[in-house]
Amino acid sequence: MASLLLPLLLRPTARALRPAVTTATRAFGGLLGGGLHGQPGPVRPSLLQPLRRAPGLCSCTCGGLHTEGDKAFAEFLTDEIKEERKIQKHKSLPKMSGDWELAVQGTEAKLTRKLAGEKITVTFNINNSIPPTFDDEPSSEGQKGQEEQEPELTSTPNFVVEVIKNDTQKALVLDCHYPEDEVGQEEEEESDIFSIREVSFQPTSESDWKDTNYTLNTDSLDWALYDHLMDFLADRGVDNTFADELIELSTALEHQEYINFLEDLKGFVKCQ
Task: List, for residues 163-175, the tens digit of each pLDDT value.
Answer: 999 988 899 999 9
What pLDDT does 31 receive?
A: 38
What is the structure's pLDDT at 2? 47
CATH architecture of 86-129+153-180+191-262: Roll (3.10)
Which residue blocks in 103-196 are alpha helix, DSSP H? 144-148
> CA–CA separation, 193 vs 122, rounded Å?
16
Q: Please provide the size of the chain in residues.
A: 272
Residue 32: how many CA atoms within 13 Å on its side-chain side?
Answer: 11
Q: Residue 212: its pLDDT value, please?
A: 80
Q: Using one digit for the tens of pLDDT, what is the confidence trace for 179-208?
A: 987 555 554 557 899 999 999 999 887 667
Q: What's the confidence (pLDDT) of residue 51?
A: 45
Strand-pair category, 195-203 with 215-217: antiparallel
pLDDT of residue 139: 54
> What residues pair up with 160 in beta bridges, in sequence order?
123, 175
Helix (H/G/I), strand (E/B), else coil: 222: coil
Low-confidence ranges of the chain (pLDDT < 70): 1-63, 134-150, 182-189, 206-207, 209, 272
Q: How distant, in Å, are the alpha carbons of 97, 100, 119, 122, 254 from that of 116?
A: 18, 14, 8, 17, 33
pLDDT for the residue numbered 174: 98
Residue 110 CA to its chain's centroid (Å): 21
At 34 the pLDDT is 46
> Can you tell me the distance from the alpha carbon of 125 to that of 127, in angstroms, rounded to the nearest whole number?
6
Of 106, 60, 39, nearest to 260 by C-alpha is 106
